[in-house]
């Protein structure tokens, strides 16, 4: 699989898709993540080193006045000093100027592959030296690579741009999922054909809870969008420190053909470390037991007061709880939030309600996934977050479902749909486990 190069901060890579394809011929199945671009971050080795520190395998790409695209690959971190790196190589791509196939010039085995010093960097074994301050490149015939300046960069020493990319190997997925439009249709059918195991229950009721801004309301919008066939905004979303959602609302959905999938998603106010800014934990239990009515306005000072007619049917109770957690945060949950959710979780465990985690904003956490949702299960970053949240909440990895919500898009995208619908299918299955246990 081949992806367009990505960058987290929106700097546009100069390397074209066709040039990346050429590089994949030299490097195998990899992704490129732009770390440094001289024209944006500054033509100075210190800026380059600051951006490229501790990144593992990288590709330095030079562009000169004549239109040559060339550079060097290294597997060792950027550092000042001489490094032997037997996997390093120089390359020159096929461009209008250079023509021919992409060329690869491996380092002589055992020779110094990179020797960045305080003046010239990157320096590929003296065969290719970038003098960023002067926007020049040079190369010595006595260097560690068998190549001439003419072949490598057409003897044109004037640099117009330098970029450094982190090179990420594309690994086998850690969870298998089929990414086809047909699969999306199958998932939609599984959901619309679903019948709760208990006949008195018309629709499976799933409660969404979690920290402020985790993406609860956006998930509901996303599910609604998929059923409607276009992006919709039924619920209000926001990004403040206080919860945007302040009213308990239950959502049923309408399919394109007027059918109503047997699913209700319940939106709640976010949880906050500071009790005054978020929903009361007791309210969650009251909702699960079916006491809280639709459109109830949360009161942070005082939990919902259960009335006298507190006997509720299974149909009115919650059948699955989803913790909606922002996967893009450096530390997923603060100690305070972790304690809070773990307390809630043990109270829900007592009610024997199945619980899953929706790990949202995977597009923000991993640039590769931001470019292409289909890589979500190939992303080390997302796998790490799944493990982290699993450990923090004591939830098995199979109950943690990464999703990307619709938040800025105008059109539906089938891979995003598949991820969201797969999460819904899992919720329905977990709800059925609950029904089986209570009859």
Q: How many residues bind ligand GTP (CB under 6 A)?
A: 22
The smaller minimum CB distance to ligand GTP, of residues 266 and 353, is found at: 266
Compute the distance between CA of residue 406 and CA of residue 233 in angstroms, rounded to an integer.
9
Residue closer to ligand GTP by CB (options 153, 414) is: 414
Q: Which among 56-64, 73-81, 283-291, 360-368 is the span making contact with ligand GTP, rule CB under 6 A? A: 360-368
Please say which residue, 103 or 415, places its beta carbon nearer to ligand GTP: 415
Residues 214-233 that bind ligand GTP (CB under 6 A): 214-218
* Nearest partner of 184 among 423, 425, 421, 426, judged by Cα: 421
Gap between the Cα atoms of 5 and 3, Å rounded: 6
CB 29 to Mg ion: min, Å: 39
Q: Is 250 in the site for Mg ion (CB under 5 A)?
A: no
Cβ at position 45, least distance to ligand GTP in Å: 34
Q: What angle do CA 22, 27, 30 make, to 5 degrees?
A: 90
Is residue 407 within the footprint of ligand GTP (CB under 6 A)?
yes
The sign of the torsion formed by the CA atoms of 357, 10, 132, 20 equals positive
Give the range of 195-203, 213-221, 284-292, 307-315 binding ligand GTP by CB under 6 A: 213-221
CA 311 to chain CA centroid, Å, is: 43
- Applying CB under 6 A, among 109, 199, 239, 309 the residue interacting with ligand GTP is 239
- What is the end-to-end Cα distance of the chain in Å, rounded? 47
Q: Is 154 in the site for ligand GTP (CB under 6 A)?
A: no
- Pick from 123, 217, 221, 392 the residue near Mg ion by CB under 5 A: 217
Nearer to ligand GTP, 70 or 406 (CB): 406
Comparison of 92 and 216: residue with beta carbon closer to ligand GTP: 216
- 243 binding ligand GTP? (CB under 6 A): yes
Q: Is 333 in the site for ligand GTP (CB under 6 A)?
A: no
CB 177 within 8 A of CB 422: yes
Q: Can you tell me which of 39, 238, 343, 409 binds ligand GTP, judged by CB under 6 A?
A: 238
Q: Which of 52, 98, 212, 223 is the binder for ligand GTP (CB under 6 A)?
A: 212
Please identify which residue in 245, 250, 375, 422 interacts with Mg ion, judged by CB under 5 A: 245
- Reading the block at residue 87, the tokens are 């996997």
Q: How far is the CB of 413 from ligand GTP (least distance, A)?
A: 12
Residues in region 96-125 near ligand GTP by CB under 6 A:
none
CB of 288 to Mg ion, least distance (A): 18
User: Which of 364, 371, 381, 390 forms a contact with ligand GTP (CB under 6 A)?
Assistant: 364
Q: x/- binding map, residues 288-327, to ligand GTP, per CB under 6 A? A: ------------------------------------x---
Binding site for ligand GTP (CB under 6 A): 212-218, 237-239, 243-245, 270, 324, 360-361, 363-364, 404-405, 407
């Amino acid at each position: 699989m081949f992806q367009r190069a990505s960058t987290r901060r929106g700097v546009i890579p100069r390397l074209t898709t066709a040039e990346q394809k050429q590089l994949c011929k030299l490097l195998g199945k990899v992704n490129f993540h732009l770390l440094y671009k001289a024209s944006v971050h500054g033509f100075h080795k210190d800026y380059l080193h600051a951006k490229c520190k501790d990144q593992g395998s990288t590709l330095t790409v030079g562009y000169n006045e004549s239109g040559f695209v060339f550079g060097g690959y290294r597997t060792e971190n950027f550092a000042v000093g001489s490094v032997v790196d037997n996997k390093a190589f120089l390359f020159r791509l096929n461009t209008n100027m250079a023509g021919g196939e992409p060329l690869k010039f491996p380092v002589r085995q055992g020779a110094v592959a990179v020797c960045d010093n305080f003046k010239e960097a990157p320096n590929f074994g003296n065969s290719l030296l970038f003098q960023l301050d002067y926007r020049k490149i040079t190369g010595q015939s006595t260097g560690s690579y068998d190549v001439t300046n003419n072949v490598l960069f057409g003897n044109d020493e004037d640099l117009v741009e330098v970029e450094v990319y982190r090179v990420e190997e594309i690994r086998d997925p850690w969870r298998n999922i089929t990414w086809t439009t047909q699969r999306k249709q199958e998932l939609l059918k599984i959901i619309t054909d679903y019948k709760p195991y208990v006949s008195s229950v018309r629709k499976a009721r799933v409660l969404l809870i979690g920290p402020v801004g985790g993406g609860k309301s956006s998930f509901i919008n996303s599910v609604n969008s998929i059923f409607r066939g276009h992006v919709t905004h039924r619920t209000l979303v926001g990004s403040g420190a206080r919860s945007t959602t302040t009213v308990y609302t239950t959502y049923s959905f309408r399919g394109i053909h007027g059918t109503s999938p047997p699913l209700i998603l319940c939106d709640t106010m976010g949880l906050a470390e500071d009790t005054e800014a978020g929903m009361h934990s007791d309210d969650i239990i009251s909702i699960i037991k079916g006491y809280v009515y639709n459109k109830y306005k949360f009161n942070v000072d005082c939990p919902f007061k259960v009335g006298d007619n507190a006997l509720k049917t299974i149909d009115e109770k919650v059948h699955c709880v989803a913790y909606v957690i922002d996967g893009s945060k450096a530390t997923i949950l603060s100690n305070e939030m972790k304690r809070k959710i773990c307390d809630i979780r043990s109270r829900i465990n007592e009610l024997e309600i199945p619980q899953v985690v929706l790990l949202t904003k995977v597009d923000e956490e991993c640039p590769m996934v931001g470019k292409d949702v289909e890589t979500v299960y190939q992303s080390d970053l997302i796998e790490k977050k799944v493990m982290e949240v699993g450990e923090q909440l004591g939830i098995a990895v199979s109950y943690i479902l990464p999703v990307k919500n619709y938040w800025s898009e105008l059109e539906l995208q089938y891979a995003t749909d598949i991820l969201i619908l797969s999460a819904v299918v899992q919720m329905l299955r977990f709800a059925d486990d609950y029904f089986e246990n209570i009859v």
